[in-house]
């Protein structure tokens, strides 16, 4: 049987997820594993993945347990198991339809949402755990994405939450980093010039961060799949959409309606920034000195 990282056997896998039959060989999940493991490795780095895998593989014979690593391994296992099942369950459903009767689409959607919710919780816990215990995972703090995140105008999910609610999700925030960079380069810096210019101006800083958050969320709604959004945002989108037609098509319509509202709000903040920058520039201009002023005690003849 082909090995799947972090799971010794089917029994261990079933500890972390529901829906997998004990008689099914675990290697049926390999295609799903290859896809979802890459997503996690992109978040935490190959070095951290290897460190945790090694700890998992050796843990039965270790005399001294490492609680920090043990918790991280558990979060990876929960995330992997639920992400893999989310991808694979459609095949299980097709098989069951042939033998046990139909599984309806609304049931599939509900099951998929539960797997996604569990995976979200595991990934959020994993990333928060790594951030909190960064000294235990040097490979994690050496990631270019981690280093880059420290220099962002909004550099953490906790700070982003102040400007737009994302369910305090480090996973979603990390997935949005490339969007934050895009908005910063395309919309923020052309308006403010340099961060040093405004960093001591709290009113401007507040407007900049609000504009950044709203424009980033507009792009996230435009580019991310509906189920890859935090539950609160999916709920907001649902409130914008149809109350009667529940389908992926209506999900996309609802998502677009919310995105349009966020873009309008972002533009309002951008207008405020431009006005404040104009005032800041004007305030820095002094009137030229009149050489014929009485201050000089003489008049310049021309």
Side-chain-side CA neighbours of residue 200 (13 Å): 3
Whether the Cβ atoms of residue 160 and residue 166 lie closer than 8 Å to each other = yes
Closest CA to 248 of 114, 106, 88, 118: 106
Distance CA 282, CA 285 (A): 5
Lowest mean pLDDT segment, chosen from 17-21, 183-187, 295-299 = 295-299
How far does CA 250 lie from the centroid of its chain?
23
Q: How confident is the model at residue 299 (pLDDT cuts 50, 70, 90)?
A: very low
Q: What helix, strand, coil percent values describe the chain, rounded to 5? A: 75, 0, 25
pLDDT (tens digit, 9 = 90+) per residue, 156-176?
999 999 999 999 999 999 999
The domain limits of the chain are 1-150, 153-283
Q: How many CB atoms lie within 10 A of CB 132?
A: 10
Distance CA 225, CA 220 (A): 9
Distance CA 73, CA 51 (A): 10
pLDDT at 185: 98
Contacts of 129 (CB under 8 A, 6+ apart): 68, 71, 72, 75
Q: How many CB atoms lie within 10 A of CB 118?
A: 20
Positive or negative, the CA dihedral 182, 188, 193, 199 is: negative
Whether the Cβ atoms of residue 287 and residue 246 lie closer than 8 Å to each other = no
Q: How many CB atoms lie within 10 A of CB 154?
A: 25
Mean pLDDT of 199-214: 97
Q: How confident is the model at residue 95 (pLDDT cuts 50, 70, 90)?
A: low
pLDDT (tens digit, 9 = 90+) per residue, 107-152?
667 778 889 999 999 999 999 999 999 999 999 999 998 999 999 9
Distance CA 195, CA 189 (A): 8
Contacts of 181 (CB under 8 A, 6+ apart): 148, 152
Contacts of 1 (CB under 8 A, 6+ apart): 25, 26, 27
Question: Would you say how long the chain is, in residues?
Answer: 302
pLDDT at 242: 47
Q: How confident is the model at residue 183 (pLDDT cuts 50, 70, 90)?
A: very high
Lowest mean pLDDT segment, chosen from 8-12, 59-63, 67-71, 213-217 = 59-63
Closest CA to 16 of 106, 112, 121, 169: 121
User: Does 96 have pLDDT greater than 70?
Assistant: no
Q: Which two tokens stand for residue 270?
A: 């951008």
pTM (2 d.p.) = 0.82
């Amino acid at each position: 049987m082909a090995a799947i990282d972090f799971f010794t056997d089917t029994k261990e896998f079933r500890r972390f997820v529901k829906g997998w039959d004990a008689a099914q060989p675990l290697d049926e999940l390999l295609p799903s594993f290859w896809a979802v493991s890459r997503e996690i490795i992109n978040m935490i780095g190959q070095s951290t993945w290897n460190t945790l895998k090694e700890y998992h593989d050796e843990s039965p014979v270790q005399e001294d347990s490492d609680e920090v690593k043990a918790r991280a391994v558990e979060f990876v296992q929960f995330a992997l198991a639920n992400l893999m099942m989310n991808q694979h369950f459609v095949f299980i459903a097709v098989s069951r339809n042939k033998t046990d009767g139909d599984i309806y689409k609304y049931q599939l959607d509900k099951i998929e949402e539960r797997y996604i919710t569990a995976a979200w919780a595991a990934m959020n816990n994993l990333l928060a755990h790594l951030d909190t215990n960064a000294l235990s995972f040097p490979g994690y703090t050496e990631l270019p994405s981690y280093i880059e995140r420290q220099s962002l105008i909004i550099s953490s999910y906790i700070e982003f939450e102040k400007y737009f609610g994302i369910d305090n999700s480090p996973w979603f925030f990390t997935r949005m980093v490339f969007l934050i960079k895009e908005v910063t380069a395309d919309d923020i810096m052309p308006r403010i010039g340099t961060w040093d210019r405004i960093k001591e101006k709290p009113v401007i800083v507040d407007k900049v961060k609000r504009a950044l958050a709203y424009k980033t969320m507009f792009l996230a709604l435009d580019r991310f799949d509906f189920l890859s959004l935090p539950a609160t945002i999916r709920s907001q989108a649902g409130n914008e959409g149809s109350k009667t037609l529940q389908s992926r098509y209506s999900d996309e319509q609802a998502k677009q309606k919310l995105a349009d509202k966020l873009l309008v709000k972002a533009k309002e903040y951008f207008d405020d920034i431009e006005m404040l920058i104009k005032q800041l520039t004007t305030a820095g201009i002094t009137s030229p000195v009149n050489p014929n002023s009485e201050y000089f005690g003489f008049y310049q003849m021309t």
